[in-house]
Amino acid sequence: MAQEDWSEVDAYIVEKLSPPEDPSNQALEAALARNREAGLPAIDVSPAQGKLLHLLARLAGARNILEIGTLGGYSTIWLARALPDDGQIVTLEFSPVHAAVARENIAAAGQAAKLDLRVGPALESLPALEREGAVFDFVFIDADKANNPDYLQWALRLARVGAVVVVDNVVRNGRVLDESSADPDIVGTRKFFDVAGAERRWTATAIQTVGVKGWDGLAIGIVEKA
């Protein structure tokens, strides 16, 4: 099978389980449209992946979610919808331009009351969250891959025992196998696996995925100890 087949299967899954014409999904489609109009890179999670994140957060009983990498807020909306009315999602975005689009998208989706969007380098925002005593039930990491090893360490510091941590884009068209690569995304992803495999505070696995986003994968784990 090739990319065309993967995309067609993804479209079938979305049509059957998350149809865009469903009123509950129209805000998500509008968010993607605003992202395109604003010239944001088309690197959002797919609709099927977004719903997976939503379901995982609900299964975790999340009341407080941390997202590292907001982009235009598409995945943020999916995650915010998994929260109870008094829940909160803290999402970290480096780009002020992306953050402004995300705020508009999240407000239009009716999720602004749950939002704490912080702009700036995530590795500066994360220590601030620790100083504030923040504790999270669910963490989604989808930012610059070169810093994924550090993001994982912070996720484990800020997550409660039993929390779920999901890390996106860990296969990268199979290039994760290229030990000679100088690409910072590949170097960071390979280092992430080294750190993730040695880390005893969580139990994790990774799965390969194919679909409209191509060949990639995600890691998912449960925090075992503080």
Bridge-based pairing of strands 136-141 and 214-223 is unpaired
Which structure tokens are listed for 74? 């598409």
* CATH at 57: 3.40.50.150
DSSP 14-83: HHHHS-TTSHHHHHHHHHHHHHHHTT--S-PPPHHHHHHHHHHHHHTT-SEEEEE--TTSHHHHHHHHTS
Q: Compute how many other C-beta atoms are within 10 angstroms of the C-beta atom of residue 202.
A: 21
| Rounded average pLDDT per 10-residue block, the chain, 226 residues | 93 91 88 97 96 98 98 98 98 98 97 98 98 98 98 98 98 98 98 98 98 97 95
Query: Would you state the pLDDT for residue 4?
Result: 95
Query: Would you state the pLDDT for residue 21?
Result: 79
Q: How far apart are CA 92 and CA 143, in angstroms?
A: 9
Q: Which amino acid is at 156?
A: L
Query: Would you state the pLDDT for residue 128?
Result: 98
Domain that holds residue 44: 3-223
Q: Is 57 exposed, middle or buried (0-12, 13-18, 19+ CB in 10 A)?
A: buried
Q: What is the CA radius of gyration of the chain?
A: 17
Query: Would you state the pLDDT for residue 226?
Result: 85
Task: Quote the number of domains for the chain.
Answer: 1
Of the candidates 165, 210, 173, the one whose C-alpha atom is nearest the C-alpha of residue 189 is 173
